[in-house]
Amino acid sequence: MQAAALKDKKRGASATKEGDNDPDYENITLAFRNRDPLKSDHSPRSPAPAQPRPLSDSAQIPPWLHKAIMILYVLLAFTFAFCIILSVLLLVKNSEMSQELLDLRGELWNVSNSMRVCQEEQQKGWNLVWERVKEARESILQVDRKTLGEVEKLKTLPTEIAGIKENVKKILDKVEQLSQRSMPSK
């Protein structure tokens, strides 16, 4: 069958007219025609594809549509530029804030360093105060011990004075006795 069709192609247009009466040619054509309806049994045959209309037909497009589309493009461009400008401003502000935060971090570090030094000095001062308090307490305890020793001595002093008075009285008595002996009697 394909050989017959190939023959028909080689013969050209005159061959097609001659092949109209040929039964093999008819079968090929009918078989080809019958294939399409078998494939699309479930779907209706679609009409030929629509030809696109030329755009030069200005009756279909309103005249203001081109201006409106151009205005929308311009607005889109302005919006895009505005977004770019805002992004740049945001980056600049972010950079400034970052620098300010770095400066603040440095200042906080300096303050914390100063506070640490002050705390160390304050601790040294308190340690010195505690040492002085301990020294004063020790000296007070020493004075207190000495004073207690002296108080103890003062407590024994009246008995010693009484003993001294007795001794003095005895001495005076003996001196009187001696002086009475040494004095002539009259």
Tokens of 29: 């054509």
61-86 residue pLDDT tens:
888 999 999 999 999 999 999 999 99
How remote is the C-alpha of 72 from its chain's centroid?
42
120-172 residue pLDDT tens:
999 999 999 999 999 999 999 898 888 888 888 888 888 888 899 999 999 99
DSSP result, 146-165: HHHHHHHHHHHHHHHHHHHH
User: Rounded CA gap, 112 and 156, in Å?
Assistant: 65
User: Rounded CA gap, 164 and 159, in Å?
Assistant: 9
